[in-house]
Amino acid sequence: NTATVAGTITDPNAANNSATSTTTISLVTDLSVAASSAPAAVAPGAPFVHTATVTNLGPSDSTGSTLTLELPAGAVASTVTPGACVTAGATVTCTVGPLGLGATFTATVEMTAATTGTYTTTATVAGTEADTVPANDTATASTAIGQVVATPSPVNMRVPIFSPGGA
C-alpha cells in the first residue's frame, strides 16, 4: 500500500510526501489425521485393513500435503488405495494435493500377517502451510493377529434356575 499527500503550498521537503507499507499474508491450516482398523482382531494370514483420513480443519485451504503410513513390521501390504499412494518397503507415501476447508483425503492399506501379535500402523500428515495444531498430525491403528477377543453372547449366558424343593 502506498499513501501520498499533496498540498497547495510548496513543500520544502517533497521526499517525505509518500510512504509504502508491505504486508505479507501467510496461509495457515490445521491438518489432522485419524486412523482406524478393521477388524480389530483376525487369525494369522487373514486380511485386515488400516485406514487413515486427513481432514483440513482450516482456517485456510491447504495447497498440498503428504500422508505417510509406517506399516507394521511383519505385515505384508496387498492393496493400497488410492493411486496417489506409493509403497516403498514398509512405508506408504500419499500425495494428498490441495484440500479446501473441511475437505478430506482417505488412504487404505489391506494387509496380512503370518505371526501372532499386535500390528500397529502410524499415520502422519505434513502440509505445505504452517500447522496451527501439530498435536493432531499423527495417529495409529492396531490389529491383533491370532489373539482371541472374547465377546459375550447372550445365547451362551444361560443361568440355571433352581426352585426350592429340588425339582
pLDDT tens by residue, 26-72: 789 999 999 999 999 999 999 999 999 999 999 999 999 999 999 99
Tell whether pTM > 0.85: no
Distance CA 64, CA 62 (A): 5
The reported pLDDT for the residue numbered 162 is: 59
Residue 130, sorted as left (phi over 0), alpha (psi -120 to 50) or beta, turns out to be beta
The reported pLDDT for the residue numbered 73 is: 94
Q: Which three cell numbers stand for residue 78?
A: 496387498
The reported pLDDT for the residue numbered 160 is: 58
As a whole number, mean pLDDT of residues 6-32 equals 83
The confidence band for 13, taking pLDDT boundaries of 50, 70 and 90, is confident
As a whole number, mean pLDDT of residues 86-115 equals 96
Q: Phi, psi (5° rounding) for residue 51?
A: -120, 140
Q: What percent of the chain has pLDDT over 90?
A: 70
Is there a contact between 75 and 114 (Cβ–Cβ < 8 Å)? no
In the block, residue with C-alpha cell 489432522: 32
